[in-house]
Chain A
Amino acid sequence: MHALQSGDERAAEELVGANAGWMLSVARRYLVDTALAEDCVQDAFMNAFQNIESFEGRSKIKSWLHRILVNAALTKICKNRRHDERPIDNLLPKFDEFDCRIEASWPDIPTPAEILENTQIRNLVADNIHQLPQNYRIVLLLRDIEEMSTAEVSKLLEVTEGTVKIRLHRARAALKKLLEPILRGGK
């Protein structure tokens, strides 16, 4: 770390070599597009190099880079916001005149391992996840995949904790609806 902070070229190469791979995988979760994800990793490293003096070693370097990367990904998403997203309302739970849930019966739900045995279905599942509107997909990623707390997500996205909770539930419910044909028959 001292070598990095003093501008050592070899240390910079080692930092990039050891971390660019996992950072690219994480960036692809958020940005989907590989070219955008590569740009994002590059932005994150530039940010890290510029702020290397502020790294005090209280956290692990990987956690520090991860935080910088997620911020870079969110910034990139804001800049490249899609305008062709499908509305989420028709994917949300439905209720009848008694406020009772309208839900077709689920006699048997295959396990995730059973569903993902088929490569085509595996790709279909991934495609459906990417169909979620970005505002919802990001909350789902941060809470369920990155396992951040509601408070952490709220701070990162600059929205209230209530908004995070609402978006999280809607995202999970909408994803369930999108994946329903697969969950019901593996098709």
Chain B
Amino acid sequence: MNSTTKHLLHVLKGTVIRHFPFIKTCQEYDAFLHDYVDNSLPAAQRRRFQFHLSICPECREFLAAYKRTMELDKLVHAEAIASFHADAPESLKQAILDARQS
């Protein structure tokens, strides 16, 4: 697909989304994106958002990368916890016990 066709499709999508009743724009939906990901959108709003996703590749791909980022964040934290020494340094444990005595 050449750049002119891409641009025309983009303008068409923008015009439809802006003027079609019941379809919110990407910017309006951005505020609901975390609720959609967290499954906390009411069913009707969820269906409308899914329709928006079906006609908007940019939102669809943004959402995929957004979810992948969350997975990566969780995995990095989980691995950091697993790889970090399971026990605290003796000096710290002793400092805690000394502070308790004082």
Is there contact, CB below 8 Å, between A126 and B87?
no
Q: Contact string, B39-75, partner A, CB cutoff 8 A, digits 1/0?
A: 0000000000000000011110110111011111111
Q: How large is the interface on A (under 10, 10 to 19, 20 to 34, 35 or more residues)?
A: 35 or more
26 contacts across the A-B interface (CB closer than 8 A): A20-B96, A24-B88, A26-B81, A28-B80, A28-B84, A38-B89, A42-B95, A93-B30, A93-B62, A95-B26, A95-B27, A98-B14, A98-B17, A98-B25, A101-B26, A102-B58, A103-B59, A106-B62, A113-B75, A116-B79, A122-B79, A125-B76, A126-B76, A129-B73, A172-B34, A179-B72
Is there contact, CB below 8 Å, between B66 and A173?
yes
Q: A87 CA to B81 CA in the complex, in Å?
A: 28
Known: A41-B88, A122-B79. 13 other contacts (CB 8 A): A21-B85, A21-B86, A21-B88, A22-B86, A26-B81, A38-B89, A46-B100, A101-B62, A105-B57, A106-B61, A112-B76, A145-B73, A183-B68
